[in-house]
Amino acid sequence: MTERTRGAVFSPQPDRVAIVTGGTDGIGYSTAKYLARLGMHVIIAGNNEDKADEAVRKIKGETLNDRVEFLYCDLASMQSIRRFVQKFQRKRIPLHVLVNNAGVMMVPQRKTVDGFEEHLGLNYLGHFLLTNLLLDTLRDSGSPGRSARVVTVSSATHYVGELNLGDLQGSRSYSPHGAYAQSKLALVLFTYHLQGLLAAQGSPVTANVADPGVVDTDLYKHVFWPTRLVKKLFGRWFFKVSPRRTIIIITIITIINTIITTMINTINTTIINTITITILITTTIINTTIKSGGWRRCLSSEAAAERAEHVQKF
């Protein structure tokens, strides 16, 4: 999208304040930069100060907006989230946009500092707490006809997710893909419920949830190496906006991780390489078969952020 097109989407909004979680890279970074370009006061919430300093410097330089800053917030720690909210509230400024973007995907089984399974604890519970702690500020900042907004980034994997109420932590049978899908489904259900409550109260706040599609970011760093190889070789065709394609790609990723992780300790390297090559060929055939309407352009992080913003105007 060109600078001219960007300017036609939203008018300048220098009187607005936004918080973006995970705004140091990927979709979060592109979202923070876009909002800064609109003139908003943007606060990046993250847990990597070195990356944050670089992100803030780059956004300020590219947008010529000095009202971009970083506040430390580890969404895997309830205490850190509460400290972040306290620091923000001490600024005594409004809040018009909260973008719940940060997350992890398919990480090994591990827990947050509070003892929650990491997908559930960081992706869902962290944003659940953050949103609720900031809700009063959002209410005070919104007005009839110009609502404050909560925009939560979910994923098409919520379609295949299940809430295992008997074992939310996955302690009996852990699946990285299952845990990720469950956390994204929880975000969707939370958003729908929150929007219902806000609407019933006549609140000047709306809750929105968006699927950005399959986007080429560092979120894939925890998937198994053959999957990363597929991503590297065929990413040009994978990273499209089609929800149907998204679900098929996630299914392929799950198959790759399940088959190779299960077999890697029991079969030799030659067989593993054979399986990997077979999967690559199969993936190419499936990808070619499901295409419709011709190939569309590769979806970058910035393009995905802009697409998510079209769900609701700020």
Task: Give Cα separations from 4 to 8, 9, 70, 291 (angstroms).
Answer: 7, 9, 28, 31
Measured distance CA(112)–CA(142) in Å, rounded: 33
Residues 6+ positions from 9 with CB-CB distance below 8 Å: 306, 309, 310
Measured distance CA(199)–CA(204) in Å, rounded: 8
Residue 45, strand partner residues: 21, 71
In the chain, the amino acid numbered 48 is: N
Q: Are strands 41-46 and 68-72 parallel, antiparallel or unpaired?
A: parallel
As to burial, measured by CB atoms within 10 angstroms (0-12 exposed, 13-18 middle, 19+ buried), residue 144 is exposed
* Farthest-apart Cα atoms in the chain, separation: 65
Residue in 212, 210, 216 with CA at minimum distance from that of residue 300: 216
Q: Which one from 29, 124, 180, 220 is the annotated catalytic residue? A: 180
Question: Is 180 one of the catalytic residues?
Answer: yes
Catalytic residues: 180
